[in-house]
Structure 1
């Protein structure tokens, strides 16, 4: 028996015209609110008084700005009771939530800039939700269940089938079978009092992109609707204040839109108000499966709460050969965005026009040839190492070095695009001199809840990348401990782009172009998760892993210069005018 409490609080951010996070589109701005956005929290305490806090937010991602502020507030509130290792913050990855929430510069460009009141409102809702959940703790039984969507339930499709089919462990699927090239499993954690289902957590990977980038309202998308439907269903059964979380598992290459013959034509028929109906139907599929599955006999959760949490610098990892196909010099590198990143996804979010992409590809190829000529390039060795790590990626943006095709950011003419105009404005203002464009030091976490181990990942893991991580952790834990299930949650604690398998990466679809640290990114993650799983088997006093590394503090003066607070209308109009 555990002591468990739960609560949800609205994230109160008024839509004022800032761009939303997810599509990276300058024009994708919030002028209205379609549904409330929530923080949903669970506080779970075992018999040794060890507490796990798990929060899910209707946002595109978690950022270090959110987590670090939340940790500081919880330390003030709970004192010695609070263990940062045992705090999990998860995003539903709705693309219709507020932007401007990261201290790092790049993904805030469309907003434009950093919006401190957004972070303050989010942290306030998180802390209030956790505080209320703790106050409401009661004796609760916990059960685990696994359910599967029937093959004909139109809930999800693989949007990168050619990359998926490169994996040696998969059954190849044609472009007519993309709905089979995903993990159609939903994992469920149910909370029961007096043998009645009170609340639950669902894990299922599918992008929250039912709503496209032409809409202008905050909305929880499919995950938000699934939670709302489920909570209403429980209320109708007589349950008071139920909380249901619909979190993401391996969603990296999984779309809620049909992928196959005539995919764009089919997607383009869903416009405007129909997009909201489409999101609701997708949420209904998820809600119905969860509610049905939780009425069946479940495996009871018993045992202690524990966790391993560590920040890892993914830009500097020597990957062990066991995870790198036997290669002895496999390394990760500084974060780089490929041309495929700027091309976008085939249905969910198209990027730059094809002629522009062709031009980018040509320039990236020419730049690579130039830099790998030892007699011409003074930085030959550095670029040789970079391209060995990044493999076939056509590098356009060296986010770590803050260079575009070898030139410092800020050089492209502002007239090309409003996003470039905003980047140039920030460069001229001295707002990105010491600040990173994207995170390189990111949190990896394994949480133990009795016989369940939950692997918490900060990025967008593809279907098979996530499976490989779970297999790595299973090999360390199953049979060596009381843990008999290993599940994965993504979009946890920060955002680091995508993680594909090595084989998928070679395709250089959007997901590979956005796998920032190179073709060995997954292998690096596997090596670290193996280490942390080994540590989880040890008594806490014998554990030995990095607990001191942290992201560098962002210079406050630079953050202030990236903040368009009070100048939104001017910043947007200037961007649109160039």
Structure 2
């Protein structure tokens, strides 16, 4: 079910970008003409003494720059209807960023008629090597020690500027598409959990992670490439939590290498842009087969970094040279706010509920950042807590559940427990808040 859902989410993401892309019937041997534009801008933020986001290590603070972080914007459409897709070198991208970026776009009379909340999609590469403190939600800002306004403003401004540049660079052109498989990059860090899926689900796929690599190539009417945008599922956490230099990790470095090949000028208003966007990376670690992520920043000493970076870079180069199909048809978009606490899933006949982090979260990842003191092992389920050898874990689960139910009574109700099924909830992030009727630890209404 997990892999199927992540693939579904990826399809929905692509649908918000280019509806024709979700169906091969929209591929053609001859191009459709669109307005296409790309833009890039710096979003690096504070490079000293700011908590870094991704590994949730309070001691990991910025102390310099390995690679600068950037926002890469892509626009496609016509004179009336357009879409914007941004991939940013960030750990995550939050609602508050989207609201402020759209606010700035709408304040620009040149941009306002074309771009709004509905047709701007912002995504993060999920690098674990950037500064944090820009979410506005407790769970994500806790280890950063709070909200860092200068970083937030650097991100908002950089994303806005990349969109503005892409808009100013619009010109007639077409979009080529290439699809392939990228094997040997990434593996599952949660094989125990994935193995709990029914055999009927597991047998639907060739592997326990998605190996598909999809790339768009933006070309002007006179045949000049102005950008690429690809999606592949792998965590950018080849560089471990001891590192303190800001870095885009494997996706950011792959983008830099491709842009270097294409002569990208980061100070220019109009230049080639290479976006290595995130797909359904779920539990896909680049460190599978290489051991725990080291702090090394060079390929010679960090084989995981070399493998993931060069794998994506080389596949992008291959598709850049070989893509011979085009996106055809009209471009459209859909946007809706969804309350994830009340979403009815027709295929399963159930309704979702407020979020909760499972007990296994406490163990961390053995390949990325294992917990020094895990409360529960990976693969912990409600049933496994009934086993005699797990009595200590069962007692701890009951203790925590009892405490939470006193502070936040909803967590003790059968409806909440039954909704989470075999997942014993460790932290009820969709219910828990630190002040009376305040904002929950994580967002619940999602775009």
The answer (yes or no) to whether the contact 1:229–1:284 under 8 Å persists in 2 is no
What is the match of residue 450 of structure 1? none
Name the CA shift for 1:18/1:180 in 2 (closer, same or farther; >3 Å).
Answer: same
Q: CA deviation at 1:7?
A: 1.4
Is the counterpart of residue 246 in structure 1 residue 272 in structure 2? no
Is the counterpart of residue 202 in structure 1 residue 230 in structure 2? yes
Which of 107, 112, 123 is the aligned partner of 2:140? Answer: 107
Is the counterpart of residue 342 in structure 1 residue 362 in structure 2? yes
* Residues 339-488 of structure 1 mapped to structure 2, 5 A cutoff: 339-354=359-374, 361-365=394-398, 383-402=413-432, 434-443=438-447
What is the match of residue 138 of structure 1? 171
Which of 318, 326, 341 is the aligned partner of 1:292? Answer: 318
The separation in 2 between residues aligned to 1:24 and 1:356, in whole angstroms, is: 18
* CA distances 1:101-149 after superposition (whole Å, capped 9, x unpaired): 1111111001011112111110111111111111111221111110122
The separation in 2 between residues aligned to 1:271 and 1:370, in whole angstroms, is: 38
Q: CA deviation at 1:390?
A: 1.0
Name the CA shift for 1:349/1:291 in 2 (closer, same or farther; >3 Å).
Answer: same
Q: CA deviation at 1:216?
A: 0.6
Q: CA deviation at 1:369?
A: 8.7
Q: CA deviation at 1:277?
A: 6.3
* Residues 269-308 of structure 1 mapped to structure 2, 5 A cutoff: 270-274=294-298, 278-308=304-334
What is the match of residue 10 of structure 2? none
- Match of 2:362, SS state, is helix
The answer (yes or no) to whether the contact 1:198–1:234 under 8 Å persists in 2 is no
Q: CA deviation at 1:434?
A: 1.4
What is the match of residue 28 of structure 2? none
Q: CA deviation at 1:181?
A: 2.7
Which of 251, 255, 260 is the aligned partner of 1:232? Answer: 260
> What is the TM-score of this pair, normalised by structure 2?
0.80
Is the counterpart of residue 160 in structure 1 residue 190 in structure 2? yes
The answer (yes or no) to whether the contact 2:46–2:131 under 8 Å persists in 1 is no
The separation in 2 between residues aligned to 1:90 and 1:379, in whole angstroms, is: 35
The separation in 2 between residues aligned to 1:278 and 1:139, in whole angstroms, is: 40
Q: CA deviation at 1:25?
A: 1.3
- Match of 1:438, SS state, is coil
* Residues 11-26 of structure 1 mapped to structure 2, 5 A cutoff: 11-26=43-58
The answer (yes or no) to whether the contact 1:65–1:119 under 8 Å persists in 2 is no
The separation in 2 between residues aligned to 1:206 and 1:3, in whole angstroms, is: 31
What is the match of residue 267 of structure 1? 291
- Match of 1:19, SS state, is strand
The answer (yes or no) to whether the contact 1:342–1:352 under 8 Å persists in 2 is no
Name the CA shift for 1:370/1:133 in 2 (closer, same or farther; >3 Å).
Answer: closer
The separation in 1 between residues aligned to 2:250 and 2:44, in whole angstroms, is: 20
- Match of 1:80, SS state, is coil
- Match of 1:106, SS state, is helix
What is the match of residue 332 of structure 1? 352
Moved more, 284-293 or 62-71: 284-293
Q: Comparing both structures, which one devotes a greater share of its residues to helix?
A: 1
* CA distances 1:368-393 after superposition (whole Å, capped 9, x unpaired): 69999xxx9x9699611111101122
Q: CA deviation at 1:3?
A: 1.5
What is the match of residue 66 of structure 1? 97
Is the counterpart of residue 181 in structure 1 residue 208 in structure 2? yes
Name the CA shift for 1:361/1:72 in 2 (closer, same or farther; >3 Å).
Answer: farther
Name the CA shift for 1:257/1:268 in 2 (closer, same or farther; >3 Å).
Answer: closer
The separation in 2 between residues aligned to 1:121 and 1:371, in whole angstroms, is: 37
The separation in 2 between residues aligned to 1:172 and 1:141, in whole angstroms, is: 35
Name the CA shift for 1:367/1:117 in 2 (closer, same or farther; >3 Å).
Answer: closer
Q: CA deviation at 1:276?
A: 5.6
The separation in 1 between residues aligned to 2:204 and 2:164, in whole angstroms, is: 48
The separation in 2 between residues aligned to 1:276 and 1:35, in whole angstroms, is: 16
Gaps of 5+ in 1: 174-178, 260-265, 403-408, 410-426, 444-578
> What is the TM-score of this pair, normalised by structure 1?
0.62
Name the CA shift for 1:142/1:355 in 2 (closer, same or farther; >3 Å).
Answer: closer
The answer (yes or no) to whether the contact 1:339–1:360 under 8 Å persists in 2 is no
Gaps of 5+ in 2: 1-32, 265-269, 378-389
What is the match of residue 45 of structure 1? 77
What is the match of residue 405 of structure 1? none
* CA distances 1:329-385 after superposition (whole Å, capped 9, x unpaired): x2222221222112212211212514677866532135669999xxx9x96996111
Task: Report the aligned-residue RMSD.
Answer: 3.0
